Amino acid sequence: MKAEELRGMSVDELLAREGELVEELFRLRLKRATAQLPNPMKVRETKRDLARVKTVLRARTAGGGAAS
C-alpha cells in the first residue's frame, strides 16, 4: 500500500485499516511459528504497511489535521 493512498483515507478508515493489519500480522506470526507460512516476506510487508498507517495517523493527530 502506498502512502499516497493512505493520505486519501479518512481517520476512521485508517483506524480500521490499522486494526486489520494488526490482526493480519498476528496471523502471519502464528503461521511462521508453526512453519506454515509460504512467503516469509509477507511479515515484513505487513509490518511496513502498519508503520505507514501509524505514521499518517500520527501526522494527522499531531498536526491537528493540517497534514491531511
User: ∠ CA 25-47-23 to the nearest 5 degrees?
Assistant: 25
Output the pTM of the full model: 0.84
User: Would you state the pLDDT for residue 23?
Assistant: 98
3-state SS assignment for residue 38: coil
> Can you tell me the distance from the alpha carbon of 40 to that of 34, in angstroms, rounded to the nearest whole number?
12
User: Would you state the pLDDT for residue 15?
Assistant: 95
Tell me which residue of 1, 2, 19, 11 sits closest to 68, measured CA to CA: 11
Mean pLDDT of 57-67: 76
Task: Convert the pLDDT of each residue in 5-51 to its tens digit.
Answer: 999 999 999 999 999 999 999 999 999 999 999 999 999 999 999 99
Phi/psi-derived region of residue 39, left when phi > 0, alpha when psi is between -120 and 50, beta in every other case:
beta
Provide the grid cell at 7.
493520505
User: Would you state the pLDDT for residue 63?
Assistant: 74
